[in-house]
A and B are shown apart, each in its own frame.
Chain A
Amino acid sequence: MDQEAAQLEKRHVHDVYESTAPYFNDLQSKAWPRVRQFLQEQKPGSLIADIGCGTGKYLKVNSQVYTLGCDYCGPLVEIARSRGCEVMVCDNLHLPFRDQGLDAIISIGVIHHFSTKQRRIRAIKEMARVLVPGGQLMIYVWAMEQKNRHFEKQDVLVPWNRALCSRLFSDSSQPGRKKPCAHPERSHPYPPPCSVCSCSVCFKEQCHSKRSHSMDYEPLMAGTCCAAISKDGEEENGFYNTLGKSFRSWFFSRSLDESTLRKQTERVRPLKNTEGWANSTICIQPSRHSSLDLDHHEPFSTTEQYLDEDVFVEMSQKQLEWPRAPAAMKHQHGDQQGEVRRNGDGNFLEGTNANSNPEETISVEEQQPNILDSRAFMRYYHVFREGELYGLLKEHVAELHVLSSGNDHGNWCIIAEKKDNWG
């Protein structure tokens, strides 16, 4: 299973970040206040690592400590390096550090990219290994339970639309903007993370105030476009509620932990008639089996094709089109509402939405015909249930003692300490 997990992560984490890295060079990245606080509270002279540092937004928060950044993604590391950060490429599962060399570690929005429980545990244990006794580890992962929407399943594929990102980005440089989303702290303290807005769903035309929302990499920190907008007046609010409903559906992949039980005969072809679907395309078939992580060793096909067929549906050109007008959206949403369940058991896909009228759509691909192989830009996340991260540490990482845990803007977060008597 580990090989399949690595394949999934390569395709839906590493390759995506590599491909999309260039778009994040200039964009605002938010530093979560509690993470900043954790870093600032470290003793002067501490050696700290940010494992999964991306472009390095946390690496210069505290000038009294020595902070190293690591990330698996070369292009992101280069961006961080160009900003003068001490960074390197490395693998969370095989950190290049000696044992007990670091005083503190942060892991912000990283562990949720590992596609099996065992890999998540390994990643945490690896970080524990390199911590000095008494050293602290802060972990943030995306929560399954969100404020205004909820994930139906824990294993999710999140789309990222490059074309839209560049459009929105260029928009943001126009004058006369009101409350740019890129600065949520100014306009709305602690906005909830917009799990919908990983750039792929905020339409240019709908951002009336032409906000650019934060193009930050992780949805955790992503734009507050939807959140900000909700304060702005009813009409927009109404639209975004509708929009939010439409796009609340995520693309859920089956957990690899569950996949080992999948039998060939149970494979069901997802919707063939995809004309009515604007973008929901990648869909899922939630497994009927409970997660059996380690209990079953039944081999299952390791080919990419298998994964694709089971988890994804082919996207047609139309599926990449975006609805243009709010009215159209509202109308179409109504049409689509019932049309989600297939496959008798009702445990089918969550992808939905709204566009059945091609004339009302604008093709995102007008200028960039080959950019939207959406599967290439679908990022995998395992979103955590309440208590799951805590449980993981408690049961599987005995070398760490949990100091505190809580929720921060749609993320479960934990601070743990390496036990003193640990070797």
Chain B
Amino acid sequence: MKLLTHNLLSSHVRGVGPRGFPLRLQATEVRINPVEFNPDFVARMIPKVEWAALLEAADTLHLVEVPKGPIEGYEHDEKFLRQMHHVLLEVRTGPSLASLATAG
């Protein structure tokens, strides 16, 4: 799954979250799938990102060049947007996260 998806899930920070299950990412399962860059789209995603979770994921996956947070004027900063585009939409974690059902 894409890291943007992962970012929407609960309990992605270290430890056990409210929903009860930690989502551990595996560094060995990273793939990169190129996606067409759409700066407007990415810019709109930025306010929705939960940064702590994103940075933790990036760290676990040993990703480089990941912005630490939104910067001033990010909407027009192509370099920033491209980096975010890459992290959120092109990095894919392995299939092991496909099943997230927390059985009732």
Chain B's closest residue to A103 (CB) is B48
Q: Which residues of A contact B102 (CB under 8 A)?
A: 91, 94, 96
Residue A416 CB within 8 A of the other chain: no
Residue A314 CB within 8 A of the other chain: no
Residue B103 CB within 8 A of the other chain: yes
Interface size on B, residues (CB 8 A): 23
Distance from A122 Cβ to chain B, minimum over Cβ atoms (Å): 10
Q: Report which of A43, A64, A90, A98 forms a contact with B100, defined as CB distance below 8 A.
A: A90
- Contacts across chains A and B counted by CB atoms under 8 Å: 67
Residue B56 CB within 8 A of the other chain: no
Cα A97 to Cα B17 in complex, Å, equals 11
Q: Report which of A44, A77, A86, A98 forms a contact with B10, defined as CB distance below 8 A.
A: A98
Q: Report which of B44, B50, B99 forms a contact with A45, defined as CB distance below 8 A.
A: B44
Q: Knowing A66-B45, A97-B9, A102-B8 touch, does A74 contact B99 (C-beta < 8 A)?
A: yes
Q: Which residues of B contact A74 (CB under 8 A)?
A: 99
Residue B97 CB within 8 A of the other chain: yes
A44, A46, A66, A91 interface centre (most CB from chain B within 10 Å): A66
Residue B71 CB within 8 A of the other chain: no
Q: Which residues of A contact B5 (CB under 8 A)?
A: 68, 86, 88
Q: Which residues of A contact B100 (CB under 8 A)?
A: 88-90, 96
Q: Knowing A45-B40, A45-B45 touch, does A101 contact B8 (C-beta < 8 A)?
A: yes
Give the contacts of B1-59 with A (CB-CB under 8 A): 1-2, 4-5, 8-10, 19, 40-41, 43-45, 48, 50
Distance from B88 Cβ to chain A, minimum over Cβ atoms (Å): 9
Q: Which residues of A contact B41 (CB under 8 A)?
A: 44-45, 64, 66
Task: Mark interface residues in A361-383 (1 if CB within 8 Å of B CB, else 0).
Answer: 00000000000000000000000
Cα A259 to Cα B4 in complex, Å, equals 44
Cα A88 to Cα B93 in complex, Å, equals 13
Residue B64 CB within 8 A of the other chain: no
A47/B99 in contact, CB under 8 A: no
Cα A7 to Cα B28 in complex, Å, equals 38
A88/B8 in contact, CB under 8 A: no
Cα A94 to Cα B21 in complex, Å, equals 12
B10/A97 in contact, CB under 8 A: yes
Residue A250 CB within 8 A of the other chain: no
Cα A118 to Cα B8 in complex, Å, equals 27
Q: Knowing A97-B8, A102-B8 touch, does A88 contact B97 (C-beta < 8 A)?
A: yes
Chain B's closest residue to A78 (CB) is B98
B4/A91 in contact, CB under 8 A: no
Q: Knowing A66-B4, A88-B1, A88-B100 touch, does A96 contact B45 (C-beta < 8 A)?
A: no
Cα A290 to Cα B100 in complex, Å, equals 38
Q: Which residues of A contact B19 (CB under 8 A)?
A: 94, 96, 98
Q: Report which of A72, A86, A91, A93 forms a contact with B2, defined as CB distance below 8 A.
A: A86
Q: Which residues of B contact A93 (CB under 8 A)?
A: 104
Chain A's closest residue to B19 (CB) is A96
Q: Which residues of B contact A86 (CB under 8 A)?
A: 1-2, 5
Cα A96 to Cα B100 in complex, Å, equals 7
Interface positions of A (Cβ within 8 A of B): 6, 43-47, 64, 66, 68, 72, 74, 77, 81, 86, 88-91, 93-94, 96-99, 101-102
- Give 15 A-B contacts (CB < 8 Å), ordered by A residue: A43-B44, A44-B40, A44-B41, A45-B45, A81-B98, A86-B1, A86-B5, A88-B1, A88-B100, A89-B100, A89-B101, A93-B104, A94-B102, A96-B10, A96-B101
